[in-house]
Amino acid sequence: MFFPLVGVGIGALQLGLWKLASPHLTSLVVAVLVVTLSAWLTRALHLDGLADFVDGLGGGRTRDDVLRIMKDSRIGAFGAIALVLVLCMKIAAIDAVPPPEAFLLAPALARWTPVALGYSLPYARSGSSAPAAHVGKLELAIATVITAGLVVLLGHVVLAAVVVVVSVLVGVIAKRRVGGITGDVLGANIEWAETAVLVVATI
């Protein structure tokens, strides 16, 4: 339920690095450093989920195939391409100097999405004890109130709408291909949501 606040913390550290480094380095170098910091802080957990999910979608024909590929720790061509494109898109968006609030909102809004998807969709793997398999109304309500408060405080309602659209699309794909969500699906959605917020924020 406090995932959005975790996102704010990550965003605050990214924003701090951006402000400290910007007067001394080129914007592109700063963008690479900011994205590197994000990956390090999260131990690349969500990036790993992104690679696994895209590998599953690209290489699996049936539900069982997709789930099996997603569980494989090795990264295939589809996953590698997805990682490169997402990281490049984040770097390009930060290099374009989005408004400072975007650094806070991107990770905060993105971390609301696993709560929403965890509540809205079933867990694809049976018998799982993963937290996402047990999201209730209370967790969703608190996470949503916190996120809405951040959006009102920092503005940029459009960015919140972008995250909802991304999450709905990912949810529909996950439901059709594997019957629901997994940790990899949630990680991929976080990465796509963050990227979308940063890109739209530059407009």
The predicted structure's pLDDT at residue 102: 94
> Do 70 and 177 touch, CB atoms closer than 8 A?
no
37: amino acid identity, one letter = L
Give the model confidence (pLDDT) of 156-199 as tens digits: 899 999 999 999 999 999 999 999 999 999 999 999 999 999 99
CA distance 21 to 186: 31
Grade residue 133 by pLDDT with cuts at 50, 70 and 90.
low
What percent of the chain is helix, strand and coil (3-state, nearest 5)?
80, 0, 20
Would the pTM of this model clear 0.85, i.e. be above it? yes
Q: How many residues are recorded in the chain? A: 203
Backbone phi, psi, residue 90, to 5° = -65, -45
Higher model confidence: residue 60 or residue 13?
13
CA distance 122 to 135: 10
Residue ranges of the domains in the chain?
3-201
> Do 90 and 66 touch, CB atoms closer than 8 A?
no
DSSP 3-state of 153: helix
